[in-house]
Amino acid sequence: MVCLGNICRSPLAEGVLQEKINRKGLDIKVDSAGTGSWHVGQGPDLRAVAIAKKYGVDISHQQARQFSATDFDDFDIIYAMDGSNLSDIVSLARSNEDIEKVRLILDELNIGNNNYVPDPYYGGDEGFEKVYELLDAACEIITKEM
């Protein structure tokens, strides 16, 4: 799960998907990262922690890190939150095989292609509620296919 800062959207996506996987009793590793380095080492934004907690998901232990090319070796699928994340990830790809691993997470929803998870960083709490709703719906579809 990859966004820009790895403190708002992708930590939520990691937490929501890992929770659904755990509930199914599957042994699949989920992680998240940011394309940027500003927040490396920090915990998630407190508004993201709060919205996750409201729905029974604990993301407070997560620590931001920056996406790197070795993530193409370590993961089978790489979900980007928006088109900017997607192009930043693809710019680090070393092969077509790497590029084929990258998807927009909201393309999992049947609402048309190229939908982006809006960046909630500069907005209010309702932005985090919307992000949670979108990610929960997408992760529900992802786990159904597992």
**Contact call for residue 87 and ligand 4NP (CB under 6 A):** no
Nearer to ligand 4NP by Cβ, of 43 and 75: the residue is: 43
- Determine phi and psi for 127, rounding to 5 degrees: -65, -40
Among 22, 28, 37, 38, binds ligand 4NP (CB under 6 A): 38
Q: Which stretch binds ligand 4NP (CB under 6 A): 1-9, 25-33, 103-111, 133-141?
A: 1-9
Residue 98 to residue 92: CA distance in whole angstroms:
9
- C-alpha radius of gyration, the chain, whole number: 14
Nearest to 70 by CA among 42, 105, 101, 107: 101
Nearer to ligand 4NP by Cβ, of 94 and 114: the residue is: 114
CB 66 within 8 A of CB 37: yes
Active-site residues, by number, are 3, 9, 119
* Binding residues for ligand 4NP (CB under 6 A): 3-9, 34, 38, 119, 121
